[in-house]
């Protein structure tokens, strides 16, 4: 089972260069923490990325909420990624037909494929969405996650939807490198997908608006997932973002070490 291997061991099993580099980065940096930077001002996003950068393996953005987006923001974020040794994941959640997502991913205002190492998509439109995104991303050595599950109460992304999502991922393993999911699924035929889990918190269990939080150890050790995604738990309500990021980095990494030592 791939969950029992180290990130470095698993990096040798991947054909996708971004997945390989990402797993190597996690091992090198001793971090499986992704910060969800849901901020709507350029300066605030850059400041947060610089503060948490030393502790994260992945910065997750929602670039379309940034009110003063410009190319300088992209340039500064990519410079910070190089400075602090993390990757960027634009949480775009593409959900349209193949031809449309090709345009959304590769062109338009944001030109996501030009700077985001990883992106993601819903499988509601069918596997044409993967084909469209793959056509743009694969030549650029990008990688994609599929939304197999979500952390919100009442989500419809479960059951048969999840099963079919995994089936499609197995067809396109050169580009689809993992899932947004709440738990690891059974490996099959040499599978080694990367599992990223949102809704992780050390101090709360719910935000009163449908988001449900789980402890890092539950996510990484009990459920076998690889990356914990944390947002407001690190920078919300006036928290010291650097201090909280370090706390979550340690919690996530300790759970991973416990898992592979089991």
**Annotated binding-site members:** 38, 60, 151, 211, 231-232
Q: Would residue 240 show up in a list of annotated catalytic residues for this protein?
A: no
Q: Would residue 207 show up in a list of annotated catalytic residues for this protein?
A: no
Instruction: Choose, from 20, 29, 51, 91, the residue flagged as catalytic.
Output: 91
Instruction: Choose, from 30, 93, 173, 246, the residue flagged as catalytic.
Output: 93
Q: Would residue 91 show up in a list of annotated catalytic residues for this protein?
A: yes
Binding site membership for substrate: which residues?
A: 38, 60, 151, 211, 231-232
Instruction: Choose, from 85, 96, 191, 207, the residue flagged as catalytic.
Output: 96
3-state secondary structure the chain: CHHHCCHHHHHCCCCCHHHHHHHHHHHHHCCCEEEEECCCCHHHHHHHHHHHHHHCCEEEECHHHCCCCCHHHHHHHHHHHHHHCCEEEEEEEECCCHHHHHHHHHCCCCCHHHCCCEEEECCCCCCHHHHHHHHHHHHHCCEEEEECCCCECCCCCCCHHHHHHHHHHHHCCCCEEEEECCCCCCCCCCCCCEEEECCECCCCCECCCCEECECHHHHHHHCCCCEEEECHHHHHHHCCHHHHHHHHHHHHHHHHHHHHHC
Q: Which residues are catalytic?
A: 91, 93, 96
């Amino acid at each position: 089972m791939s969950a029992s291997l180290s990130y470095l061991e698993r990096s040798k099993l991947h054909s996708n260069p971004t997945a390989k580099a990402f797993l190597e980065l996690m091992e090198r940096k001793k971090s499986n923490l992704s910060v969800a930077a849901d901020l709507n001002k350029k300066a605030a996003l850059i400041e947060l990325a610089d503060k948490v950068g030393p502790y994260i393996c992945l910065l997750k953005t929602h670039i379309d909420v940034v009110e003063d987006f410009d190319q300088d923001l992209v340039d500064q974020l990519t410079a910070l990624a190089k400075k602090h040794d993390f990757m960027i994941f634009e949480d775009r959640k593409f959900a349209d037909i193949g031809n449309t997502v090709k345009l959304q991913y590769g062109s338009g205002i944001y030109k996501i494929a030009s700077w985001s190492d990883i992106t993601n998509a819903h499988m509601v439109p069918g596997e044409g969405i993967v084909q469209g995104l793959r056509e743009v991303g694969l030549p650029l050595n990008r990688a994609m996650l599929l939304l197999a599950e979500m952390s919100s109460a009442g989500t419809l992304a479960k059951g048969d939807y999840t099963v079919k999502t995994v089936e499609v991922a197995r067809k396109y393993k050169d580009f689809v490198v993992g899932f947004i999911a709440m738990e690891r699924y059974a490996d099959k035929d040499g599978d080694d997908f990367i599992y990223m889990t949102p809704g992780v918190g050390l101090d709360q269990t719910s935000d009163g608006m449908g988001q449900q939080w789980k402890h890092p150890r539950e996510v990484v050790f009990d459920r076998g997932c690889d990356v914990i995604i944390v947002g407001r738990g690190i920078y919300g309500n006036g928290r010291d973002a650097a201090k909280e990021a370090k706390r979550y980095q340690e919690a996530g990494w300790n759970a991973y070490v416990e898992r592979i030592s089991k």
